């Protein structure tokens, strides 16, 4: 299948296919847009069923990073890379080093970071072959301690800030005590979001396909566990998707009882029209790439000069961005997803 005829091809500037047979590397690096600066986005590793599936994922995710980075007003463009393989069985040091070499060959047009299927230690191995990586250095925090380059804490904090703004706009309250929240996915981001909500006094329901993640969330958060498919049917105020994409679709949207959808998962809408489907039901949707931008803000600052106070302030601007989206969507009578796209395009197409 030609890249140019792919439904997800969107005038991408560059799509690179990287192969190292000896190391077992098969990867795709997609640079979507560099109008605001070098393309930045995570390095995903996944056992795709076909190469076409991997191409589609790279194209879609890289385009999403352009919109996310522009909406967050960062001096970077959008890109993404995918490694075809099972991260639990196929990942080796040789493969990671080969991926670093593939990124180096782009000469800085693409800057990678950890993503689904890769970790900070993995990216540090890649860094032996390229300098064009981020999210790998220890960072200071506002309380004076240090943490790893893992951007998930910033992602979770940004989601919490954004969720509060969505609740204020839709439910007219700044108080989260007693708020009923269903969290789908309790990995590193979902669990941290749950901690913020627990500390604020919210009631939590959680689900995860990995039993260990679910057990930890129940223990640490005092949350109620539910089966994965049951999470859509709960009588809650907020549904927080923090796992897979495409989970807002023709089947799940009619089942939602929540007034707000605000979570960290990427590509939550199965199709663009599902943003309007949510609006038609009176459900306020916090566009995923607006609310989950904390992680990319964190890794971007690592490249341009990290300052914990500045990063925290920038992440907190997610609330103002969402407020603008919500207000424009209401005044123009369109979905928040449409407004988020328009606002991002204003920032990278000007």
Residues of the binding site for NAD(+): 185-190
Exposure of 333 by Cβ count < 10 A (0-12 exposed, 13-18 middle, 19+ buried)? Answer: exposed
> In this structure, is the dihedral angle defined by the CA atoms of residues 241, 245, 250 and 252, taken in order, positive or negative?
negative
CB 54 within 8 A of CB 91: no
In 3D, which of 347, 350, 349 has the Cα closest to residue 72? Answer: 347
Interaxial angle between packed helices 294-304 and 152-171, expressed in degrees from 0 to 180 and rounded to the nearest 10:
130
Q: Which residues of 159-169 are buried (b: 16+ CB within 10 A; e: fewer)?
A: bbbbbbbbbbb
Tell me the binding residues: 185-190
Place of tokens 């089947």: 251
| Beta-carbon count within 10 A of 279 CB | 19
Structure tokens at 316: 């907190």
26 assigned to active site: no
The CA distance from 260 to 181, in Å, is 9
Among residues 26, 68, 80, 198, the one annotated as catalytic is 80
Phi-psi region of 305 (alpha: psi -120 to 50; beta: other; left: phi over 0): left
Phi-psi region of 282 (alpha: psi -120 to 50; beta: other; left: phi over 0): left
Measure the CA dihedral 105/108/113/115, to 10°.
-60
**Catalytic annotation, residues:** 80
């Amino acid at each position: 299948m030609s890249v140019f005829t792919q439904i997800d091809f969107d005038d991408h500037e560059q799509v690179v296919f990287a192969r190292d047979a000896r190391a077992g590397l098969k990867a795709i690096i997609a640079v979507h847009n560099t109008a605001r600066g070098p393309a930045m986005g995570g390095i995903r590793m996944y056992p795709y069923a076909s190469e076409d599936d991997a191409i589609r994922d790279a194209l879609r995710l890289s385009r999403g990073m352009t919109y996310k980075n522009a909406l967050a007003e960062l001096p970077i463009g959008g890109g993404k890379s995918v490694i075809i393989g099972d991260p639990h069985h196929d990942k080796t040091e040789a493969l990671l080093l080969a991926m670093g070499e593939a990124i180096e060959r782009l000469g800085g047009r693409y800057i990678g970071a950890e993503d689904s299927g890769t970790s900070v230690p993995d990216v540090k191995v890649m860094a032996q072959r390229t300098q064009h990586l981020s999210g790998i250095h220890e960072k200071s925090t506002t309380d004076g301690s240090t943490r790893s380059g893992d951007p998930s804490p910033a992602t979770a904090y940004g989601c919490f800030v954004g969720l509060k703004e969505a609740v204020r706009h839709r439910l007219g309250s700044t108080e989260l005590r007693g708020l009923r929240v269903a969290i789908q996915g309790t990995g590193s981001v979902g669990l941290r979001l749950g901690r913020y909500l627990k500390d604020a006094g919210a009631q939590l329901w959680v689900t995860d396909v990995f039993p260990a993640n679910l057990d930890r969330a129940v223990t640490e958060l005092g949350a109620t566990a539910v089966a994965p498919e049951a999470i859509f049917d709960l009588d809650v105020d907020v549904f927080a998707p923090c796992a897979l994409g495409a989970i807002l679709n023709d089947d799940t949207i009619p089942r939602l009882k929540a007034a707000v959808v605000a979570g960290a998962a990427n590509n939550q809408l199965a199709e663009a029209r599902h943003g309007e489907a949510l609006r038609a039901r009176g459900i306020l949707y916090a566009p995923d790439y607006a609310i989950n931008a904390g992680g990319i803000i964190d890794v971007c600052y690592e490249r341009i000069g990290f300052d914990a106070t500045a990063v925290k302030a920038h992440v907190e601007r997610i609330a103002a961005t969402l407020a603008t989206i919500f207000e424009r969507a209401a005044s123009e009578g369109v979905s928040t997803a449409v407004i988020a796209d328009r606002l991002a395009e204003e920032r990278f197409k000007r």
